[in-house]
């Protein structure tokens, strides 16, 4: 009788299908495979002198899952893969369009059930888009010393009628003090020369990016960030290698960067594509935003206060609900 073999292109989709919508890392899938198919795993380990322990075998399976990822997705379109590190695999019967809609309508603080195996701890925070804003504020402050502020487009006057201000306002704006840590004498010198002492940031936030919404989301970020020095499209999840390829192509043309926000630990968020800086702020566009929206007007007041006093008025950053 021939020894049983591990057919990852078959077993991985089977395991994921049993746990629809549940995100699993390659290592977690490997652990499930070891538990589910002990004979096949033992046979695989016996064939290779380098696989001395179960840990060695798990590491090998992890590598093979990664190398067979495209084959698996070609055979089973329901298998989705996030592009953050470490990647997460999951099974979904939803269309890409419905996946985006469900993500945007996610209820607050819901959880996807844990896997059946006690060795796995897989929880999706299920945060709504609005709950991502303060997490982004934490990340901006810790990583870039940027003080962030929420812009609520619903507070706009909408003088231009329905859709007149569509894609005009970013979700989050921020100010970065370029003189932080400088000697007071140098700060005074820069203030007299008229050189820039701050960078203004813009961020558009999405719960999920996939092939169905990536272009629309990116161009929304392009449209509502034309005034700023630094612009990012921020998302809690990027699904699919094609999505990342599209983002890189769009970045080459428009310069808006991409951040993957870690909902569980904002400090572990990743800049997937660094933004390309614009040298000057577009004050003409800022004027329209100030006239239409009181939140943006307050933001510009903060910017003016900083240029007058050097004080960023720390403490006005976004906070968790």
In tens, the pLDDT along 151-170 reads 998 888 877 666 667 789 99
Task: Please give the average per-residue pLDDT across 60-73, as a whole number.
Answer: 91
More confident residue, 29 or 181: 29
Q: Are residues 63 and 142 in the same domain?
A: no
| Least confident residue range of 21-35, 106-120, 176-190, 251-265 | 106-120
Q: Are residues 173 and 51 in the same domain?
A: no
Q: How many other C-beta atoms can be found within 10 angstroms of the C-beta atom of residue 23?
A: 20
**Mean per-residue pLDDT over the chain, rounded:** 85
Does pLDDT of 264 surpass 70? yes
Q: What pLDDT is recorded for position 158?
A: 73
Name 321's Cβ contacts closer than 8 Å, sequence gap at least 6. 131, 134
Does pLDDT of 113 surpass 60? no
Residue 42 CA to residue 37 CA, distance in Å, equals 9
Going by pLDDT thresholds of 50, 70 and 90, the confidence category of residue 192 is low
Q: Are residues 295 and 211 in the same domain?
A: yes
Hey, which residues does 135 pair with through a beta bridge?
A: none
Residue 202 CA to residue 169 CA, distance in Å, equals 9
Q: Are residues 76 and 194 in the same domain?
A: no
Domain assignment of residue 35, given as a range: 8-82
C-beta separation of 195 from 164 below 8 A: no
Q: What pLDDT is recorded for position 154?
A: 85
Going by C-alpha positions, the residue among 62, 98, 114 that lies closest to residue 211 is 98
Please tell me the total count of domains within the chain.
Answer: 2
Does pLDDT of 118 surpass 70? no
Going by pLDDT thresholds of 50, 70 and 90, the confidence category of residue 51 is confident
Examine residue 152 and state whether it is found in any structural domain, yes or no: yes
Q: What pLDDT is recorded for position 100?
A: 83
Going by C-alpha positions, the residue among 115, 183, 121, 174 that lies closest to residue 150 is 174
Name 41's Cβ contacts closer than 8 Å, sequence gap at least 6. 6, 33, 34, 54, 57
| Domain boundary pick from 17, 48, 82 | 82
Does pLDDT of 27 surpass 50? yes
Q: Are residues 28 and 177 in the same domain?
A: no
Q: Are residues 138 and 60 in the same domain?
A: no
Q: Are residues 216 and 161 in the same domain?
A: yes
Q: What pLDDT is recorded for position 72?
A: 93
Going by pLDDT thresholds of 50, 70 and 90, the confidence category of residue 318 is low
Q: What pLDDT is recorded for position 111?
A: 41
Q: Are residues 197 and 293 in the same domain?
A: yes
DSSP state of 224: T
| Least confident residue range of 131-135, 301-305, 314-318 | 314-318
Examine residue 213 and state whether it is found in any structural domain, yes or no: yes
| Least confident residue range of 122-126, 214-218, 271-275, 313-317 | 122-126
Does pLDDT of 227 surpass 50? yes
Examine residue 3 and state whether it is found in any structural domain, yes or no: no
Of 127-131, 232-236, 313-317, give the range with the top mean pLDDT. Answer: 232-236
Residue 284 CA to residue 240 CA, distance in Å, equals 38
Q: What pLDDT is recorded for position 106?
A: 61
DSSP state of 226: T
Q: Could you please report the per-residue DSSP string of 1-66?
A: -PPP---HHHHHHHHHHTSTT--EEHHHHHHHHHHH-HHHHHHHHHH-TT--SHHHHHHHHHHHHH
Does pLDDT of 112 surpass 50? no
Total number of residues shown for the chain: 321
Q: How many other C-beta atoms can be found within 10 angstroms of the C-beta atom of residue 138?
A: 19
More confident residue, 69 or 189: 69
């Amino acid at each position: 009788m021939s020894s049983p073999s591990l057919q990852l292109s078959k077993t991985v989709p089977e395991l994921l299908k049993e746990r629809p919508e549940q995100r699993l890392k390659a290592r977690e899938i490997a652990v499930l495979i070891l538990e589910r198919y002990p004979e096949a795993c033992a046979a695989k380990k016996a064939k290779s002198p380098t696989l001395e322990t179960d840990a060695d075998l798990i590491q090998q399976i992890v590598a093979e899952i990664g190398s067979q990822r495209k084959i698996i997705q070609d055979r089973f379109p329901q298998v989705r893969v996030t592009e953050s590190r470490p990647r997460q695999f999951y099974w979904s019967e939803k269309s890409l369009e419905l996946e985006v809609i469900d993500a945007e309508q996610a209820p607050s603080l819901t959880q996807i059930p844990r896997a059946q195996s006690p060795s796995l701890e897989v929880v999706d925070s299920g945060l709504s888009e609005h709950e991502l804003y303060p997490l982004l504020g934490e990340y901006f402050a810790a990583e870039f010393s940027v003080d962030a502020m929420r812009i609520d487009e619903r507070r706009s006057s909408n003088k231009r009628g329905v859709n007149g201000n569509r894609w005009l306002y970013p979700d989050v704006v921020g100010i970065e003090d370029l003189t932080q840590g400088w000697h007071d004498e140098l700060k005074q010198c820069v203030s007299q020369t008229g050189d820039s002492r701050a960078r203004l940031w813009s961020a558009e936030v999405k719960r999920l990016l996939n092939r169905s919404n990536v272009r629309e989301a990116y161009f929304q970020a392009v449209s509502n960030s034309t005034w700023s020095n630094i612009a990012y499209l921020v998302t809690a999840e990027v699904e699919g290698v094609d999505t990342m390829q599209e983002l890189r192509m769009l970045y080459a043309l428009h310069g808006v960067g991409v951040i993957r926000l870690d909902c569980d630990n904002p400090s572990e968020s990743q800049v997937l594509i660094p933004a390309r800086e614009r040298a000057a702020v577009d004050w003409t566009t800022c004027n329209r935003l100030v006239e239409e929206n009181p939140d943006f007007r307050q933001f510009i007041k903060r910017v003016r206060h900083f240029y007058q006093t050097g004080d960023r008025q720390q403490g006005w950053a976004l906070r968790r609900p």
